[in-house]
Structure 1
């Protein structure tokens, strides 16, 4: 997939991460391949939901991929996500993240895979329900073990039911905006987490959403920058908006 642009939003307070050599090198490679890159210094920080809304406000394409900056993707990942969301006409499609340091840590009790039989449909998932437990599939290297065991490959993908997916999620831009996007940031304390979860739950309730295997997304397993996780968006605000 070659037709995409990139929007970067840097909220590093002590310095501009956009000036770092590794960031500049990545930007040059993208530009060499014909991609427009739009870097922004976005301060003051008002929390992750506001940061995501800032990015969404600058999206001009029919699909928008929210991609964390500590991930490594196989070359076929974005095309697989786009093909899946177009064929399903749902609200989002995500790729679960693999932590390869857990490659030898096999957890069968967390590897329950609920495949979608037929088209992806709207679904309401709430905390405390059996469907909520689907999140465990995305722990450690579980999706890697599942796709290896079932021999799921990019030319034979499988879509599956999720509670939510972190780090690499492609949305239908109009559908995300129709449920308010991340504008709920105004109703949250600045220090919060779970804003991506709440947005996905709202999109899924109206339009459906799914994960797709195989995943080709690997976590660099760097320390999180969100240390205070006591204020969890899906526990503070309703799914219905």
Structure 2
């Protein structure tokens, strides 16, 4: 695993879009403070109504803890709201590290997760590696019909996945606590991680920054109305088609299961925009 970026810069920029979730954001940041990997920077982009979430005492306290531990934290107010694709494009514009982790503001991480994601992406040299979110309120809701898993044997290679394709049904594995049940049944633990094929992963995805940009990043935001969903899915599909992508099991990421802040879902990005392969120079890992 690479130990640092260029000129001693952070290896990873952790990108956290947030809106009206100060308490959840504080928990998410506390999990970052506990990571075994030290060489990362955090960029928070806040679109809350009223005061920014990072101005709340509970968030300020964790930001102080992170900075005291040597982690840089950049707190930005980004308004007006022009949709999640534009919010993610703004965050990507702040990235200078070789890798970037898009992390939702309501996710708890196990302490070694960032280290495991980094190990996987540097070994595979693929476009992204993600950790799907466990919803542990569903721990007693066992759904065998949604627990099919396709492991990668050998290298992760590019795949084309589109809405309605056979591979699209892989997304059911990430519903409820399905992935948690699979990793428990198979006896997988942190010392025996595996990679598997995905349609997409929500909430916690580590990208090779150059490969994400080479696939267009989130520049498609201008082709969408402000009210949309699926922007993260479309970006992953485009990266996966050019460079490959995968999920990590055991996941090590847990959803707080708060109500979504994206309430209008009539326009779903991967269903209204093409899976475009851009003709640009090769990215480097």
Determine if the TM-score, normalized by the shorter chain, exceeds 0.5.
yes
The whole-number CA distance in structure 1 between the counterparts of 2:47 and 2:273 is: 25
Asked whether the equivalents of residues 13 and 43 of structure 1 are also in contact (C-alpha less than 8 Å), the reply is: no
| Structure with bigger RCO (C-alpha 8 Å, 6+ apart) | 1
Whether 2:82 is the aligned partner of 1:46: answer yes
Asked whether the equivalents of residues 191 and 228 of structure 1 are also in contact (C-alpha less than 8 Å), the reply is: yes
Deviation at 1:15, TM superposition (A): 2.2
Q: Cα deviations across residues 177-211 of structure 1 (Å, max 9, x unaligned)?
A: 01110010000000000000000000000000000
266, 280, 285: which one pairs with 1:230?
266
DSSP-derived class of the 2:192 partner: coil
Whether 2:127 is the aligned partner of 1:91: answer yes
TM value normalised by structure 1: 0.99
2:44 is aligned to 8
2:73 is aligned to 37
Asked whether the equivalents of residues 193 and 229 of structure 1 are also in contact (C-alpha less than 8 Å), the reply is: yes
The whole-number CA distance in structure 1 between the counterparts of 2:143 and 2:131 is: 19
2:226 is aligned to 190
Q: Which runs of 4+ in 1 moved over 4 A?
A: none
Q: Cα deviations across residues 100-156 of structure 1 (Å, max 9, x unaligned)?
A: 100111111000010001100000001111100000000001111000110111111
1:101 is aligned to 137
DSSP-derived class of the 1:155 partner: helix
The whole-number CA distance in structure 2 between the counterparts of 1:138 and 1:214 is: 12
What stretches of structure 1 of length at least 5 have no aligned partner? none
1:240 is aligned to 276
1:18 is aligned to 54
DSSP-derived class of the 1:93 partner: strand
234, 237, 242: which one pairs with 1:206?
242
Q: How many residues are matched?
A: 241
The whole-number CA distance in structure 2 between the counterparts of 1:152 and 1:30 is: 31
2:166 is aligned to 130
Measured on the aligned residues, the alpha-carbon RMSD in Å equals 0.7
DSSP-derived class of the 1:210 partner: strand
TM value normalised by structure 2: 0.84
What stretches of structure 2 of length at least 5 have no aligned partner? 1-36, 278-285
